[in-house]
Amino acid sequence: MAKLNIKFPTNILKPIANFFRREEERLLKRKKVLEKEDPFSDTIRLTENAAADADAAEQFGHARVEALRQQIDRHLIDIRKAVTRIKIGKYGTCEKCGRMIDTDRLMIKPEATLCIECEKKREK
């Protein structure tokens, strides 16, 4: 299937790029807060000989923070990829088939790189 060369107008892309920049800043701030919340980052923990229940709570807290950090990292990658696609003129077009991604889909997931049909095929 031939890929179409369709692009969003610049006046529409500029606010989207600004949204992505703000979202990236928000996620980076959240990541710093999580680093402070991580029980493993507390230096007192190294010198104390904690009880088993305290150690389990630290393990759980660290696992929670680590999972949230990984989720933020994945979202940051998606955002940076979307910004790159804006810069090269490919934002809003499906990576697989080249068709425009439905604007309703982009409203829900602005960093989407696949149209709904290609996304469904990928999930199978």
Q: What is the pLDDT of residues 28-74, one digit of tens each?
A: 999 999 988 888 776 665 555 555 556 777 888 888 999 999 999 99
CA gap 118, 61 in Å, rounded: 38
φ, ψ for residue 12 (rounded to 5)?
-90, -35
**Bridge partner list, 123:** none
Does residue 91 come out as left (phi exceeding 0), alpha (psi in the -120 to 50 range) or beta? beta
Contact by Cβ (8 Å): 13, 86? yes
pLDDT at residue number 52? 55
pLDDT at 41: 76
CB contact at 8 A, 20 and 82: yes
Under the banding of pLDDT at 50, 70 and 90, the label for residue 1 is very low
